[in-house]
Each structure stands twice: as C-alpha cells, then as structure tokens.
C-alpha cells in the first residue's frame, strides 16, 4: 500500500471563495504566530516549544476577543498548519532543510489541509466542513475504485486557480521485471543523455516565453503600488509563470515515466543544484531544466513500480574518464563537447561518455556498496 495524492482543479462559488479566503488567512496567521512564539522562546530562554504547547496556544487565541475570528473557519486546517510547522522544525533540526520562515500574503501558495473529521466524500463529491455546497471538481481522472480519502488539501495559486489534492491509500501493481539498465547524464543543451547514446532535447520552456514574460514584468513595474491595475498586471505575470511551470511539469512526468517503464535500474548523479545555480551564467538555464524535480519523480515512481534508482558520488569525474580504457584527462572545459582519449584514441561524445561512466559507477555501487570512489591518480 502506498499513499498517493490526486490533484484536481475546482471552481468555487462566491460564498466558497469568501470562506476559503478567510481560511487561508487564518492558516497563515496561526502559522506565523506560532513560529514567532517558538522563535521568541528559543532566543530568550533557549527553550523549545512543543507541538502540544502550540496547540494549547491556538485554543487561547480563539478565546481572545482580539483574535476571536480564528473560530470562524473549521478547526482542522488550523491544527494541520501547526503540524506542518512542527514537521518543518524537525527537518531543520535533522539538517534536511533550512529554518522555517514566515508566510507572506500574496507571495506563496495559499493552502489549507483538512483531515477526515473536517470533510466528507460521498457519491464522488467533496464537501468541506462549514460549507453548504460540495466543491465543483473537474474530475480529470478517476480516483482508485473504493478509495477512501484520508486527507484533502485545497489551495489557491498566484494565478487565482483553485485545486484540491486528495490523499488516498492504494495498492500499486509493480511493473514486470526488465533487463534495461541506463545511466543518465543531466545537461542543458540536452536535458538528459542516456548511456545508450540517445539524447533528449531540452525544451527550454522558460526561454520560449521569456520575451512575453519580460513585457508583462515591464508593464507590472510601471503600475502604481497597491492599485487595482497593479494587481491585474501581477496576475498576468503569474499566469505566464504558471504556464511555464505546467509545461515543464508535464514534460518531466512523461520523461520520468518512460525511463522507469523501460529500465529496471536507473543511475543518476547526486548533483548539488543549489551550488550550481550560484554560477550566474548558467543559473537560469539550470533552474529551467529542473534536474532536482526529475530526480524526485524518478525516485518516487521507482518506489511505486519496483525499480531501483542509484545516485552516484557527485565528485565522480564521469565526463573526464574514458569509458573504454579508464584513463582520465586533466581538464575538460564545458565548451569541449567531443574529445579523444590520449591512451586508446577513442573519440568520445562528452555527454554519452559521461552517461556510460555513470551507469558503470552505479552498477559498481550496487554490487560493492556506497564506499566506491573514483581513483585519484591521473594518467
């Protein structure tokens, strides 16, 4: 059994728009106030406030005449945001992420999570607590037969679009065992290069809409702050960004699904994208390629379908090592796309050679463990 979220767009009624706006505002307020209290306790007394304490604080805030409006929306999303804050602190303490930050209105996705006691799902209709009408959901694909949702998250993005994400538990049938094995070298000209020699062209979604986006941003910069026209111009910019993100996500889903279906073992590099985007010449192209998102998709789809994804050492010199004889060149600038081995004379395509070496290193890791490291000597 695995947990999977199914995301659909829905169209709220005017009353639901007002109720959801209040809920999103209350969720943001509770998260920020709880974060402020936890920070103040740590800075002043070096004391960690627990999730249970913040839950009791929430009860007090609801009874306070100054914040009695917190009792208007359902209690579920407010309690859920405290859980999310606790999870953010746990990730920070265990060094998986940075410290939690405050949520600012209009700068991030508005979302509210409801657990089983705060929504109902009957006859294919989702109804949230304290709402009279069910959500007008566009069921673009069916939920698994007999699925019982355990959690529902409603959200509103910067484009003003509303989505509902329904979490269910289901049994995913694994794919038939395949003999395919592939090493993948991520790049910019080619989004990925396979050890088979195939290259997948980078669609460069952001570059395709760059001129359109620049015009919309120039128009936005000329609008008066806090004006209605500025809000409209900001919405136009958000729609362009959303269109780029949608196309990128769709392409990565198709690519990752194809890779997982065709191969039993997939080997990738453990790239430090956060460090790589510090190169201002390549940061825009690297961000548009979205290598981290591709890796995330490959890993969770591999877990679903019984495949193996291996990430090799990021310092492994896959491009500079000859995949035929194993010798290594000293320097290989990025503008050199082909090179000849000084020992065996083999002429290599830089990316195909790297993908071939990545596959070999990944198979060695699978056989011998993660302690495998490349040789330090150069010949």
Active site residues: 185, 269, 351
Residue indicated by tokens 């917190």: 70
Question: Which stretches within the chain are classed as H helix?
Answer: 14-45, 51-63, 75-93, 205-208, 210-221, 228-262, 273-276, 283-289, 291-305, 350-368
344 and 321 in contact (C-beta within 8 Å)?
Answer: no
Question: What is the rounded (10 degree) CA torsion for 331, 334, 340, 346?
Answer: 110
b/e per residue 236-257 (b: at least 16 CB within 10 A): bbbbbbebbeeebeebbeebbe
Tokens of 214: 């620049």
Backbone CA torsion sign across 28, 32, 38, 39: positive
How do 110-115 and 151-156 pair as beta strands? Answer: antiparallel
Backbone CA torsion sign across 340, 342, 343, 345: positive
């Amino acid at each position: 059994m695995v947990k999977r979220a199914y995301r659909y767009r829905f169209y709220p009624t005017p009353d639901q728009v007002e109720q959801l706006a209040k809920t999103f505002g209350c969720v943001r307020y509770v998260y920020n106030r709880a974060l402020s209290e936890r920070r103040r306790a740590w800075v002043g007394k070096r004391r960690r406030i627990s999730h249970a304490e913040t839950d009791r604080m929430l009860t007090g805030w609801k009874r306070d005449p100054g914040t009695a409006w917190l009792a208007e929306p359902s209690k579920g999303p407010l309690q859920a945001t405290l859980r999310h804050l606790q999870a953010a602190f746990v990730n920070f303490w265990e060094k998986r992420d940075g410290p939690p930050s405050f949520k600012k209105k209009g700068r991030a996705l508005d979302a509210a999570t409801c657990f089983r006691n705060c929504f109902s799902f009957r006859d294919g209709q989702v109804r949230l607590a304290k709402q009279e009408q069910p959500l007008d959901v566009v069921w673009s694909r069916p939920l698994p037969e007999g699925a019982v949702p355990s959690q529902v998250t409603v959200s509103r993005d910067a484009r003003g679009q509303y989505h509902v994400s329904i979490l269910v538990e289901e049994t995913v049938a694994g794919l038939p065992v395949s003999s395919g094995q592939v090493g993948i070298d991520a790049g910019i000209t080619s989004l990925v290069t396979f050890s088979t020699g195939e290259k997948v062209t980078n669609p460069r979604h952001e570059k395709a809409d760059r001129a359109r986006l620049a015009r919309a941003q120039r128009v936005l910069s000329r609008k008066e702050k806090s004006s209605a026209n500025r809000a409209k111009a900001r919405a136009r910019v958000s729609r362009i960004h959303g269109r780029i993100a949608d196309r990128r996500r769709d392409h990565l889903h198709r690519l990752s699904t194809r890779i997982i279906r065709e191969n039993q073992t997939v080997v990738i590099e453990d790239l430090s994208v956060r460090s790589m985007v510090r190169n201002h010449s390549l940061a825009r192209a690297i961000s548009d390629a979205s290598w981290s998102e591709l890796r995330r998709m490959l890993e969770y789809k591999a877990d679903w379908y019984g495949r193996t994804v291996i990430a090799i050492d990021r310092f492994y010199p896959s491009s500079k090592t000859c995949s035929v004889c194993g010798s290594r060149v000293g320097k290989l600038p990025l503008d050199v796309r082909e090179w000849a081995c000084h020992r065996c004379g083999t002429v290599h395509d830089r990316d195909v050679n790297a993908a071939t070496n990545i596959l070999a290193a990944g198979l060695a890791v699978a056989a011998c463990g993660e302690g495998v490291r490349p040789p330090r000597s150069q010949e």
